[in-house]
Structure 1
Amino acid sequence: MAYKIGTKQTTKTLESRQAIGVYVARDADPKLTRGIVAQSEKDGVPVRWFDSMAELGKECGIDVGAAMAAVVLDEK
């Protein structure tokens, strides 16, 4: 698996139907996450919630927090 991290990258990945999952931080701004969660649910893309942006960033292998990330298959 690979990640497209951040609001813009997650949105683009979801719109292009490449996302196999979406990760969202509970402490992220709801104005940013609301639409992504709704679109994910509409498209049948599973949403996994993380307690904090720091926890989500760590899951994605970065040293800073992230509001959301799209999960994609590794590009080989």
Structure 2
Amino acid sequence: YLMYSGYAVFAYLWARMAKVALDKMAEGTSEEMFYNAKVQTARFYFKRMLPRARGHAEMMLAGSDSLLDMPEEAFAF
């Protein structure tokens, strides 16, 4: 759950940073390279990092049947 939440929060933050960067570039800025780097990094995050959240979501939603099927004695070692 925490890993999935982390990916989701970072996606939100990168989306916000990219929006601000695009707005600044549209206004015209002397820091074009800085803001362009923000946008490029956001694209990288969404393309290469965020897809990892799918696996974490699947694990969260898979349930705990396999663990709960074990007898209580299996934990007493």
Q: TM-score when scaled to structure 1? A: 0.30
- Whichever structure has more helix as a proportion of its residues is 2
Q: Which has the higher contact order (CA 8 A, sep 6+)?
A: 1
Give 1 or 2 for the bigger CA radius of gyration.
Answer: 2
